[in-house]
Amino acid sequence: MAKSAHRQFDDKVVDASVSRDLKDNVLPEDNKLGKRDWTAAYIPTPNKLDTWIVPNVPDHLRNAYQTDPELIRHIREFWIIPPFKGPISLQTHNNSFPVPGRDFSESGQPTVVNKLLSSKTKGFYVECGAGDGEIHSNSLLFELYHHWDGILIEANPTYFKTILQKKRRAFMLNACLSPTRKATMLNFTQYGIAGGLTDLIPDEQREFFGYKGKPIEIQCFPLYSILSALEIKKVDYLSLDIEGPEVEVLQTIPLNEIIIDVLSVEKRIMNNPNGTAKKIDDIIRVLKPYGYHMERIVQLDVIVSRLSTN
C-alpha cells in the first residue's frame, strides 16, 4: 500500500494502517463478512457524517486493471465503509411499526426479484445507483425483511452523504462504476436521480432533462474490483441503474467468476423507443452466453436471471 494514500477527516490525515474503534460502524459478529479486519478504515462517526471526504487514489493505481491486488486492497482499506450496527434511520419508515414486506422501489423491481428468489433470506445484493439509500431503493426490502447483506454504490457525493445519514446495514461506496476494466477518473453530471457519467448520458436524456451545471470529476472502479475487495463471488441480486452505461459495465464483469442470480438493469433511453429496444437486445446479448434469460420488463428496467424456469 502506498504511504501517500490516506483519508482526510476534519483536520486530520489518518494512515490506513492505524486501527480505530469503529463504534456504531462495526459489523455484527455473526455477519459472514465480519471476519475481515475492517478496523483499518477510518470511518465517519454518526455525529460527523456530513464531513465525509472522498479518499485519494495513488497515481500508480489511477488506471490499474480490475484484478490488480493493490487496487483491490486500496478499495477495501480506504473506500468501502462497513455497515452500521443498530437502528436504521429512514425518513419514510417507522422502525417501531414497520410495514411488512414494503417495497421502497420506483417500479416494484424488488417484489419481482423476491418472488424469483423464493423469498430467500440472508442473501447478498449490490445496488449501483443507490440514490439517497431510501427513496426508490431496490435493496431496502431485502435488508429490512430478509436479513440480507449488501453494498450500496453511489457516485453522487451529495446523495452519498445522505446514505450515511440513513445508517444502512450495508457496505457503502462513494464512487462510480467504471465502464472499462480499469480504474479511472471521469466527469459526472449531478442532476438528482438522473445524474450520470457526463460523456455516457444518452443525447435524448440530456435534451429531455436539460442538464445544467459544471460536471465534477469522480473516481470510478470496476465492479469486479469492488466485489473482490469484499471477497464476494456470489451475488443474489444486482440492481444496475446508472443512467446510461449499464451495458458497458456488464461487459466488464467476468460472469464465469462472479455468479449473479438475478439482475435488474435500467433499459430506458429517454424519448427513443428504438434505442431502448436496442439496449434491451444488448443487455441480453452480453448476458445470454452465461446462461441468463429475460424474466420480464418492469417499467424502466429489464429483469434477467440465470435461475431455472422449471
Domains of the chain: 56-81+91-305 (3.40.50.150)
Q: State mean pLDDT over 133-148.
A: 93
Q: State mean pLDDT over 98-110.
A: 78
Looking at the predicted structure, is the pLDDT value of residue 97 above 70?
no
- Read off the amino acid at residue 264: S
- Phi, psi for residue 295 in degrees, rounded to 5: -90, -50
The Cβ of residue 15 has, within 10 Å, a number of other Cβ atoms equal to 13
- Judge whether 190 and 158 are in contact, CB under 8 Å: yes
Distance CA 174, CA 130 (A): 10
Q: What is the DSSP letter of 105?
A: B
pLDDT at 175: 94
- Read off the amino acid at residue 296: R
Distance CA 201, CA 272 (A): 13
- From the number of C-beta atoms within 10 Å of its C-beta (0-12, 13-18, 19+), residue 237 rates as buried
Alpha helices in the chain (DSSP H): 69-74, 109-116, 140-145, 157-166, 203-209, 223-229, 246-252, 273-287
pLDDT at 272: 79
149-153 and 171-173: which strand pairing?
Answer: parallel
Distance CA 41, CA 15 (A): 9
What integer best gives the mean pLDDT of the chain? Answer: 80
pLDDT at 45: 45
Lowest model confidence (mean pLDDT) among 61-65, 174-178, 199-203, 295-299: 199-203
In angstroms, the first-to-last Cα distance of the chain is 48
Q: What is the DSSP letter of 192?
A: T
pLDDT at 281: 96
Q: Residue 210 — pLDDT band, cuts 50, 70, 90?
A: low
Looking at the predicted structure, is the pLDDT value of residue 305 above 90?
yes
Lowest model confidence (mean pLDDT) among 20-24, 142-146, 158-162, 208-212: 20-24
Looking at the predicted structure, is the pLDDT value of residue 31 above 50?
no
pLDDT in tens, 215-253: 878 899 999 999 999 999 999 999 999 878 999 999 999
| 107's grid cell | 417500479
Alpha helices in 37-156 (DSSP H): 69-74, 109-116, 140-145
Q: Residue 93 — pLDDT band, cuts 50, 70, 90?
A: low
Distance CA 56, CA 8 (A): 9
Q: Residue 192 — pLDDT band, cuts 50, 70, 90?
A: low
pLDDT at 275: 84
Distance CA 200, CA 198 (A): 6
| CA 284 from centroid of its chain's CA atoms | 21
* CA angle at 120 for the pair 119 and 123, rounded to the nearest 5°: 140
Q: State mean pLDDT over 35-62.
A: 61
Distances (CA, A) of 120 to 21, 92, 142, 192, 259: 33, 25, 9, 32, 16
